[in-house]
Structure 1
Amino acid sequence: MQLSAFQDGFCAALRTAAPTPAWMDALCAQPGFAVYRNSGRKAALDALRANYPTVVQLVGEDWFCGAAQTYLAVQPPADGRLMHYGVGFAAFLARFAPAAELPYLSDVARLDRAWTEAHLAADAPPLAASWLARQPPEALGAARIAPHPAARWLWCHEHPAYSIWQRHREGLAVDTALPWQAEGALLTRPSGAVQWCALPRAGVAFLDVCAAGQPLAEAAESALAATPGGAGETLAQLTALLLSSGALCAPTGAEDPV
């Protein structure tokens, strides 16, 4: 038997209690194998709980444990670094029938995932306002500024998922009169710790265009198009927000990044 075939069979037996190939019977019958399999399952479930703390707060330990076991059965870890586990958990919750009563839950999970990704992202110098101030208008409009590697942003179309997530993360009470409206969120890591803030629809549009590698002029146009009335002051406020939060990456060769 090839080593790869043995490894595949061994991993399959660890992931499920379903019937295994006959050549695995002796191995699976050993008491130590069950302990090893259960330890692996517990590690994955503990990692999922740690990676989605706000979801756990919202639904409680028992509900989350049931959902996590269902998720584990269809999506076991594929990476030994368990902080990466659960990439598809938000999408799973969007299809999970018991979560139908909490329509914002999958978006809250997306925000938990965004926190993890921002925390794990590579370091890079953020864009400095002083660099922008030195650019002539033509050059600035043509510049292509990428989002910072640690920046994560999203728009929740139907629910105040960011407000719900933010209040649970900060230990604040959730107001029962919370406006039920679309919201955006921005997560960054400007000083080594993940931070978050609300992000207007214009900010999401701006960062989407920057992430696509398009010039700042197109990003600005997209942001204005997403702003009711296309108010110019909104673009100035948005630029200040993105700079102060470290959401943009300094271009190669830019001086005095902060």
Structure 2
Amino acid sequence: MQLSAFQDGFCAALRTDTPAPAWMDALCAQPGFAVYRNSGRKAALDALRANYPTAVQLVGDDWFFGAAQAYLAVQPPTDGRLMDYGAGFAAFLAGFAPAAELPYLSEVAQLDRAWTEAHLAADAPPLAASWMASQPPDALGAAHIAPHPAARWLWCNEHPAYSIWQRHRDGLSVDAALPWQAEGALLTRPRGAVQWCALPRAGTVFLDACAAGRPLAEAAEAALAATPEGAPETLAQLMALLLASGALSTPAGAKDTT
């Protein structure tokens, strides 16, 4: 038997949603194998709980454990590095019937996931304001500036998901006076630690455009079009926020002008 075939059969036997090959019957019948299987399940469930701390705070341990078990049954880990486990959990919660009374839970889970992705993302030099100031206007407008690998952003049209998430993360109370309105969020890792802040709609549109490869001038036009009339934010303020938070990457081949 090839090693890969044995490994596939062994993994199938560890799962409860797929049939194990017949030649694994003797091994599966041993009491120790059940302990091994349960240990693997517990590790996955513990990882999911660790990766979604704000969701756990919102629903409690027992509710979350039930949801995590249901998720594990349909999306078991595919990588031994369990810190990255649960990429689809927020989408799972959006269709999870018991979560219907918490319509913001999926977006809060997305922010938990964004924290994990920002934490695990590759290092890269953030874009410096001095580089932008050194560019001729035409060249700057034509530049393609990508979001930083650690930048994650989210816009929620229906719920103040960011305020709910941020207050739990910062140990603050969520009171009845919380404005129920659309919100955006930005998570970055400018100095080795994940940070977060509110982001206006124009900011999410700008980052979407940059991620799609559109030149800076077009991304700026899209951001201006998404800015509500009379809004206090300006494009200059938005760029200052994105630069200060390290949300943009230095273009390839650009020289450091600091």
TM value normalised by structure 1: 0.96
- Shift in CA distance, 47/208, structure 1 to aligned 2, threshold 3 Å: same
Alpha-carbon distance between aligned partners in 2 of 1:143 and 1:52, rounded to the nearest angstrom: 37
Q: Give 2:244's aligned residue.
A: 244
Q: Give 2:102's aligned residue.
A: 102
**Match for 2:70: what amino acid?**
T
Q: Equivalent residues in 2 for 1:207-246 (5 A)?
A: 207-229=207-229, 234-246=234-246
Alpha-carbon distance between aligned partners in 2 of 1:211 and 1:22, rounded to the nearest angstrom: 48
Alpha-carbon distance between aligned partners in 2 of 1:15 and 1:165, rounded to the nearest angstrom: 33
**Match for 1:40: what amino acid?**
G
Q: Give 1:124's aligned residue.
A: 124
Q: Percent identity?
A: 86
How many Å apart are 1:254 and its aligned residue? 2.6
| More off after superposition, 230-239 vs 133-142 | 230-239
Q: Give 2:74's aligned residue.
A: 74
8 Å contact from structure 1 (residues 108, 162) kept in 2:
yes
Q: Give 1:29's aligned residue.
A: 29
Alpha-carbon distance between aligned partners in 2 of 1:108 and 1:33, rounded to the nearest angstrom: 37
Q: Give 2:61's aligned residue.
A: 61
Alpha-carbon distance between aligned partners in 2 of 1:190 and 1:20, rounded to the nearest angstrom: 46
Q: Give 1:184's aligned residue.
A: 184
TM value normalised by structure 2: 0.96
- Shift in CA distance, 138/233, structure 1 to aligned 2, threshold 3 Å: farther
- Shift in CA distance, 218/206, structure 1 to aligned 2, threshold 3 Å: same
How many Å apart are 1:230 and its aligned residue? 8.1
How many Å apart are 1:20 and its aligned residue? 3.4
How many Å apart are 1:232 and its aligned residue? 9.8
8 Å contact from structure 1 (residues 108, 165) kept in 2:
yes
8 Å contact from structure 1 (residues 224, 232) kept in 2:
no
8 Å contact from structure 1 (residues 127, 257) kept in 2:
no
8 Å contact from structure 1 (residues 184, 200) kept in 2:
yes
8 Å contact from structure 1 (residues 186, 198) kept in 2:
yes
How many Å apart are 1:231 and its aligned residue? 6.9
8 Å contact from structure 1 (residues 250, 257) kept in 2:
no
After superposition, give the CA deviation of every residue in 1:125-165 in whole Å (9 maximum; x if it has no partner): 11111111111111110011111110000111110000000
Matched, 1:84 2:84: yes
8 Å contact from structure 2 (residues 12, 19) kept in 1:
no
Q: Equivalent residues in 2 for 1:5-24 (5 A)?
A: 5-16=5-16, 20-24=20-24
Q: CA RMSD in A?
A: 1.6
How many pairs align?
Answer: 258
Tell me the secondary structure at the aligned position of residue 229 of structure 2. helix
Tell me the secondary structure at the aligned position of residue 145 of structure 1. coil
After superposition, give the CA deviation of every residue in 1:177-203 in whole Å (9 maximum; x if it has no partner): 211111100000001000000000000
Q: Give 1:171's aligned residue.
A: 171
Matched, 1:113 2:113: yes
8 Å contact from structure 2 (residues 17, 73) kept in 1:
no
Q: Give 2:201's aligned residue.
A: 201
Tell me the secondary structure at the aligned position of residue 76 of structure 2. coil
Q: List 4+ stretches of structure 1 deviating above 4 A.
A: 230-233
Alpha-carbon distance between aligned partners in 2 of 1:200 and 1:99, rounded to the nearest angstrom: 27
How many Å apart are 1:256 and its aligned residue? 3.0
**Match for 1:90: what amino acid?**
A
Alpha-carbon distance between aligned partners in 2 of 1:219 and 1:17, rounded to the nearest angstrom: 46
Q: For structure 2, which runs of at least 5 residues remain unmatched after alignment? A: none
